[in-house]
Amino acid sequence: MNEVCCCITVDEYSVVLSCHHPTARKHHKCCECGGVISPGETYERTVTLFEGFVDTYKTCGFREAIRRDFFPCGFYHGRMREDFLDCNGWDYCEMPEEDDDV
């Protein structure tokens, strides 16, 4: 586990009705970064029930890995970017590109 993690307080938990990793057949929008999940990419698709409402969340593979590594205590779908920024002081959507020359 990373030294820097986000242990946010999760007040209430939703019921996960299903969670699987399909391969996209069309373009989808990641609920965590707002980026495009392109056809052919594998992503996490989670269906939840909370206070009588069913919601579907689609998360790109990169943000799913960040969530797995940095949010061991829980998270809210769709708020990971804000919570990560609050915990770590930097925005994972604005990460510098790696130099190929290094």
User: Domain-by-domain residue ranges, the chain?
Assistant: 15-87
Q: 64: Cβ–Cβ under 8 A, 6 or more apart, which residues?
A: 43, 44
Please report, to the nearest 10 degrees, the dihedral formed by the alpha carbons of residues 87, 89, 94, 97 taken in order. Answer: -110
Q: Tell which wins on pLDDT, 2 or 82.
A: 82
Q: Which of 76, 70, 83, 72 is nearest to 57 (CA)?
A: 76
Say how far apart CA 21 and CA 84 lie, in whole Å: 23
Q: What mean pLDDT do residues 23-50 have?
A: 96
For residues 83 and 33, give the distance between their C-alpha atoms in angstroms, rounded to a whole number: 12
Q: Record the pTM.
A: 0.80
What is the pLDDT at residue 65? 92
Region 48-67: what's the mean pLDDT?
Answer: 93
Q: Give the residue with greater pLDDT, 54 vs 97.
A: 54
**Closest of 58, 9, 13 to residue 37, by C-alpha:** 58
Q: What is the mean pLDDT of residues 45-60?
A: 95
pLDDT (0 to 100) of residue 92: 81
